[in-house]
Chains A and B, each alone.
Chain A
Amino acid sequence: MLDVSAHIVRGDFALEVSFSSDARITCLFGRSGAGKTTVAEVVAGLVRPSCGRVMLNGEALLDSDTGQSVPVWKRRIGYVFQDARLFPHMTVRDNLLYGPRRSGDPDPALDEAVALLGLEGLLERGPSSLSGGEARRVAIGRALLSRPRLLILDEPLAGLDGARRGDILPYLDRLAREGPPILYVSHAVEEVARLADRVVLVSDGRAVGAEPPDAAFDRPEAEAAAGLTAPLSVLDGRVIAHDPERDATRVDLAGTAFLAPLLHVVPGDRLRVVVDAREVALALTDPVDASFQNRLPMEVAALEVRSDGVLVRLEAGGLRMKALVTRQASEQLGLAPGRRVIALVKATAAARYA
């Protein structure tokens, strides 16, 4: 359980922080320069706020009321910096074992970390000979081996090209399942949508409240803050079965069957599907001869008129989805709360995030 409330002033930059989360992965999400890293640094103890309180699992790491502040090296919070910061005078192995040696850990889980992060063959190398992706993985392993109570990942994918991202993402997925709780700093919608259990939106000098990603992306400031071009629906589901002949995977989204592009996941696994609201069409009757693979009977819950159209909030059982249509389309269909419609989503429009 991480509990932060702080007022941070740095030069002419002020940030009001207040959130608490016991999620496996909490994302600090916002534009570059919004102060996400500063919030993470306050948690780790690298930056001291003007006033505030940081609690981890019930222990006060910082309390400006009592003047208490646990020094960085005693906090047991792993920090993976954006620039890896490996020790240049040590091999990868010595980098990895730095934390265990400090704490006198007699049995560091070196082999597990090496296997988890795919570091075989790198152990005797020097940091300067590593690629960007390799260095990040070593940095993650190094933080992990210090047995942190919380792991902070600061933009672990930033600055890496597509292939290198692909290198790291599977490891992050495994880390999310097997590792300590994570505070994940990112400005990238896809990463947050894929990984976050809770999102703290950092925007306009505020970082208040940890919410489920769907709710966080729903806030008006999220779009401006994060370069979201349209509202997103973030849907949690479970894999039902694969259909290799049709290159598709059948997913259960809160009781509704949904067809997504073929995914390399095991049936039964949890899965997250993200749908851009612009990719959702609406019909009053089921167009059986159309190419839409997903034709979901839903009910209009609410309408919001925006500058770029009408945002239609849809519900079916536990499933909530958003559709962005033009005002003209909304009028033609006579959309109103309570109206039953068919939501049409192409399977290919569903971005997959495991």
Chain B
Amino acid sequence: MFSLSPEEQQIIGLSLKVAATATVFSLPPGVALAYLLSRADFPGKALLSGLTHLPLILPPVVTGYALLLLFGRNGPLGRLLDPLGIVFAFDWTGAALAAAVMGFPLMVRAIRLSFDLVDSRIERAAETLGARPLIRFLTITLPLALPGVAAGAVLGFAKALGEFGATITFVANIPGETRTLPLAIYSLIQVPGGEAAALRLVFISVGVSIGALLISEWGARAATRRLAGMG
């Protein structure tokens, strides 16, 4: 039977923890930024949109190196956060940060599209009924965009689960700390005789991905059904 070794369990657990943390922490700013890009008109909007998409275009190694320069122990942001007890360098939190940054453009893009599809005339109707902007957003815009928000979160999660280049550049490949599934597979391939173990992890990786996809699909459908049932 196919049973997981303690080491494999630990790799999977770390991968899920990193991806989930990355998704949970990037979702609120992702939603906010997506809404801003969808609805607001301000100088520098194109620039902000471009910056958001930068990690998608840059080689992941470059993004990872930029993170290292910024958030490393001697980086300007790293030094700023260190006294607060927030450390990213060579820590699993750094892997989560790298995964979040890499998944952010995909997430924002999907959510922004769903905001674009929400009829702004319906939002105006809510205003005439006394809804101030924040309430209008929470009661009308966000519920109507929920399927898209869920899709964005899934994309971000999937990207986080598979992130490699930026992670290994930023926080290296430390067993039990930053060695997620892709990094573990890469390490095993580098060692002679590691192919069999690598193949096991490849299958596990496929399984985890499909599982995550099914759960998200189910979640999105439940959210859509809830909206349809209410509407």
Contacts and interface: CB of A to CB of B under 8 A. Distances in A.
Interface of A: 44, 46, 71-79, 81, 83, 85, 87-91, 94, 98-99, 102-103, 126-128, 142-143, 146
A77 B128 contact: yes
Contacts of A103: 130
Contacts of B227: 88-89
Contacts of B231: 87-90, 126-128
Contacts of B143: 89
Nearest to A99: B129
Contact of A87 (B132, B135, B140): B140
Interface stretch (B49-57, B73-81, B108-116, B118-126): B118-126
B195 interface: no
A79 to B, nearest CB: 4
A102 B131 contact: yes
A194 to B, nearest CB: 25
Which size bracket describes the interface of B in this complex?
Answer: 20 to 34
A331 to B, nearest CB: 57
A44 B128 contact: yes
B144 interface: yes
A76 B130 contact: yes
B82 interface: no
A71 B139 CA distance: 18
Nearest to B146: A89
A259 B228 CA distance: 54
Contacts of B126: 87, 98
A87 B122 contact: yes
Contacts of A89: 143-144, 227, 230-231
22 contacts: A44-B128, A71-B127, A72-B128, A81-B125, A85-B121, A85-B122, A87-B125, A87-B140, A87-B231, A88-B122, A88-B231, A89-B227, A98-B129, A102-B129, A102-B130, A102-B131, A126-B231, A128-B231, A142-B129, A143-B128, A143-B129, A146-B128
A56 to B, nearest CB: 14
Contacts of B140: 87
B230 A90 contact: yes
A102 B133 CA distance: 12
A72 B230 contact: no
B220 to A, nearest CB: 15
Interface in B125-179: 125-133, 135-136, 139-140, 143-144
